[in-house]
Amino acid sequence: MKKLVHSLSLMVAVATVSMLAGCDLYFGSHDNGGSSTWSYCGSDGYYQCHGDSCTWVSATCPSGTTGSAGSGYECTTSTDCAAGCYCANGTCNEGGFCATDSDCGPGYHCNTDRSSCEPNPPGCASDADCASGSTCDTSSGLCTETCSCTDDAGAKSQGYDYCDETRMTCEKGTDPNGTCAGTAGANCAAAPTCPSGQVPLIDSTTGCYNGQCEAYGSCSESPVCEHINDESNCLGRMDCAATYTGINCHKPDGTQCHSGDTNCTCQSFQFASCSTKP
């Protein structure tokens, strides 16, 4: 085993950035036949060395580090492994770096404390136990890959019913957040006032407005014309007609126009509402 010499030349070497990727960056080459790659657990933490060039990796050393080539793969928990890796069967494996679950592949979640993708625990009880892009099959207790999405329209285009936008995951069934389609029942409360370009959502169970709004372009099903509150989306529908309010309107004699007057000239017009064509 090579001896780590604390010298000026070594300090320069420690600052050298390794060009290896993934877990190799931290735990050495898989080729244990050579003697140029070795690890060292020093008083200030764990070092990975290539020849005489050593790089400080972390303040803690993986379990089993002895200073021999390739010995740094051993672990008891994922915290024994470098960021971007996780512990499985006593060995550090490459999982990837992440900031959120969506950065990881199906079956993995993001451990934000370590910025590392790690396998989901065995089994699941709900979709929340699965990574983004997968749902829980409660009959088997296993996470099943579906697809990723950002809105209902994206999920619909991939053969699913709606998008769980919190988890960015395609889902089958009834959207618990409501639907853009249809009209509310006669005994329901009035629709919420939605920002321009959005439409009210209807609870599929009660048939009434749920107080939420959805961007028109994110709807998986077309809303009724009467729920559209902006000119561009209204004119973009062949089955809808836009109505306008005249601004600064006058009759030929110069007097102001009133409702029902004819021969009025208006300075400008403003979009008022959208309705279904007869």
Does 229 score more than 60 pLDDT? yes
Does 202 score more than 70 pLDDT? yes
So what's the pLDDT on residue 42? 58
Does 240 score more than 80 pLDDT? yes
- Cα angle 228, 232, 235 (rounded to 5 degrees) comes to 80
Closest among 128, 97, 127 to 113, alpha carbons compared: 97
| 159-197: pLDDT as tens digits | 998 888 888 999 888 788 888 988 988 889 999 999 999
| 23-33: pLDDT as tens digits | 544 444 444 44
Q: What is d(CA 258, CA 250) in angstroms, rounded to the nearest whole number?
A: 9
Does 10 score more than 50 pLDDT? no
| 48-87: pLDDT as tens digits | 777 667 787 776 666 555 433 333 457 778 888 888 888 8
| 127-145: pLDDT as tens digits | 888 888 888 887 777 788 8
- Cα angle 257, 260, 264 (rounded to 5 degrees) comes to 40
| Confidence (pTM) | 0.45
So what's the pLDDT on residue 45? 63
